[in-house]
Amino acid sequence: MTSPLGIIGAGAIGGTLARLAVAAGLDVIIGNSRGPETLADLIDELGRHARAATAREVAREADIIVAVIPLSAYADLPATELAGKVVLDTTNYYPQRDGQIQPLDDQDSTASELVQEHLADSSVVKAINSIAFASLGNGARPAGSPERSTLPIAGGDADAKQRATALLDTLGCDALDIGPLSEGGRSEPGTPAYCDPYMPAWPTEPLPTDELLAWLLSAPVVPVSTEQLRSLIASAERGPAGGYFPETL
Ligand SMILES: NC(=O)c1ccc[n+]([C@@H]2O[C@H](COP(=O)([O-])OP(=O)(O)OC[C@H]3O[C@@H](n4cnc5c(N)ncnc54)[C@H](OP(=O)(O)O)[C@@H]3O)[C@@H](O)[C@H]2O)c1
């Protein structure tokens, strides 16, 4: 990659992606909603291959950008600056966080189709939405490793999907193309491929939030092969839209 990897959103999964990217030798430009000055600690940690910017600057300066924001904020993605770019969309629909989104509740659309509608002149690839940030961060492995995992990608632009696959490869995982964005629902919350296959079984007793987070961060990663993922994706059935955060998280 000649331009830096752009990341819009610097929270749990955006920060994890930035760490993986820098560790893989990429330059990173990352932004959030509150402004670059609020990312000083993260940039200190990441070192000289990362810098903070506004979301618009991230969109302008990178050719491939990962959108790592709550779905409720998707209309803030800077469509003009993102025109002509590849945008990896990690968003998932959680009504508790995002509020009710009618076209999703009515099953007229999927999360990434809404993002593509907003970013009409970009090539949106749904990616990195179905693995928890800790599994992503702990699970990166070099190509060919038996412990390497496969993640689903979906989108309407074959070239963009190829670039998303190359980026995932660099970050330490394989990609399985599951079709157009309309099929992206097969990797959304509540489906068999969503997050759990990459983790050991959840603790059987309820834990306070800090202990649950500590468990999540240290849980060993369970690799999911391409064949396993293919079968999980094929078994997905469309249920009610959206996921649900347990009260203890
Ligand atoms: N956490 C996971 O394990 C995981 C896994 C897969 C997919 N996802 C999905 O990825 C997305 C991000 O999840 P997360 O857990 O990383 O969330 P998070 O920790 O809450 O971080 C969200 C980030 O988005 C930024 N943001 C919010 N509104 C924005 C806007 N309008 N413009 C620019 N930046 C904005 C926030 O910046 P400010 O703090 O400045 O507002 C923050 O840096 C969600 O859609 C989630 O469902 C999460």
Q: Which CATH number does the domain housing residue 86 bear?
A: 3.40.50.720
Q: For residue 239, what pLDDT is reported?
A: 79
Q: What average pLDDT does the structure give for the chain?
A: 95
Q: Does residue 52 belong to any structural domain of this protein?
A: no
Number of domains in the chain: 1
Please compute the mean of the pLDDT values over residues 115-123 and round it to a whole number. Answer: 98
Q: Is the pLDDT of residue 64 over 90?
A: yes
Q: Does residue 20 belong to any structural domain of this protein?
A: no
Q: Does residue 95 belong to any structural domain of this protein?
A: yes
Token reading at 161: 């999907």
Ligand 1, atom nearest to 13 Cα: 16
- The CA–CA distances, whole Å, from 120 to 12, 76, 155, 226, 246 equal 27, 14, 13, 31, 34
Please compute the mean of the pLDDT values over residues 120-145 and round it to a whole number. Answer: 97
Cα–Cα distance measured from residue 176 to residue 186, given in angstroms and rounded to the nearest whole number = 12
Q: Does residue 131 belong to any structural domain of this protein?
A: yes
Please compute the mean of the pLDDT values over residues 79-93 and round it to a whole number. Answer: 98
For residue range 230-243, what is the model confidence (pLDDT) as tens digits? 999 999 988 788 88
Cα–Cα distance measured from residue 248 to residue 130, given in angstroms and rounded to the nearest whole number = 20
Please compute the mean of the pLDDT values over residues 51-79 and round it to a whole number. Answer: 98
10 lines ligand 1 (CB under 6 A): yes
Q: Does residue 140 belong to any structural domain of this protein?
A: yes
Q: Length of the chain, please?
A: 249
Q: Is the pLDDT of residue 139 over 90?
A: yes
Cα-to-centroid distance, 67 and ligand 1 (Å)? 8
136 lines ligand 1 (CB under 6 A): no
Give 146-168 as a DSSP string.
TT--EEEEEES-HHHHHHHHHHH
Q: What is the CB-side half-sphere exposure of residue 182 using CA atoms within 13 A?
A: 2
Cα-to-centroid distance, 79 and ligand 1 (Å)? 18
Q: Does residue 179 belong to any structural domain of this protein?
A: yes
φ/ψ of residue 168, rounded to 5? -60, -40
Q: Does residue 28 belong to any structural domain of this protein?
A: no
129 lines ligand 1 (CB under 6 A): yes
φ/ψ of residue 48, rounded to 5? -75, -10
Percent of the chain residues past pLDDT 90, beyond the cut? 88
Q: Does residue 24 belong to any structural domain of this protein?
A: no
Q: Is the pLDDT of residue 248 over 90?
A: no
Q: Is the pLDDT of residue 206 over 60?
A: yes
Q: Which residues of 22-53 are buried (b: 16+ CB within 10 A; e: fewer)?
A: beeebbbbbbbeeebeebeebbeebeebbbbb
The domain in which residue 133 lies consists of 70-234
